Amino acid sequence: MNMVHSYLSKQNLHAPCRSIWTVEGRRWLEGERLSYPHNEMKDYCLQLIDSVTEVIEAYDRKLRGLEIIAEEVELIETIPYVGYTRALTIALETGPILGRYFSGIARRRGRKIAKISLARKIAKGVYHMLKNNITFAEYKSKYLAKRAPLFAFTPQGYLSRLGSLASGILTSCASH
């Protein structure tokens, strides 16, 4: 909440901890008395955060009850600063795509090489996105389009490439 940071800054107050949204920071913030009307706004922001936290925790409990791909989520949760919701999102959004890539390499080259290849692919993508300040869609069109196979895996890609091949063959046949 930028408002609270603004109120603290206006009164030249600095938290003794890294973040005011940690347990320690929250305790410090609750004990600080700000001038009117900043103190009332600080209290309102803290109440708002408490309300939103309750809703988030309720949804977390519901999601945990679903036990969707629980094993994958538990593994992803072992990454520092990745909680259940973030782990579930990663598993649901990237799992199928990365699974297909991994399976393809593993079939041809073995599981060990597939793990290394997948890790390198992810690291390389993230590196280029951060280095060039681009989105994944921009990264995909700029870096991955160069390596597109002759026939894309989507029906539209397959048909469009097949159509361009056919028109090229027909053009060359007509010229003879």
Say what the pTM is.
Answer: 0.41
Task: Point out the domain boundary residue: 42, 65, 88.
Answer: 65
Residue with more model confidence, 58 or 140: 58
Residues 113/116/119/125 CA torsion (nearest 10 deg): -80
**Direct distance between the N- and C-terminal alpha carbons of the chain, in angstroms, rounded to an integer:** 72
Residue 75 within any structural domain of the chain = no
Residue with more model confidence, 138 or 145: 138
- 66-122, pLDDT tens digit by residue? 666 777 788 888 888 888 778 888 777 777 777 788 888 889 999 899 888 888 888
Question: Mean pLDDT across the stretch 127-153?
Answer: 70
Q: Which structural domain, as residue segments, surrounds residue 128? A: 96-175
CA 114 to chain centroid, in Å, comes to: 22
- Reading phi first (left if > 0) and then psi (alpha if -120 to 50, else beta), residue 133 is in left
Residue with more model confidence, 89 or 146: 89
pLDDT at 147: 56
What DSSP element (H or E) covers 24?
Answer: helix 23-31
How many CB atoms are located within 10 Å of the residue 91 CB?
21
pLDDT at 166: 43
Domain count for the chain, please give it. Answer: 2
Task: Point out the domain boundary residue: 65, 86, 111.
Answer: 65
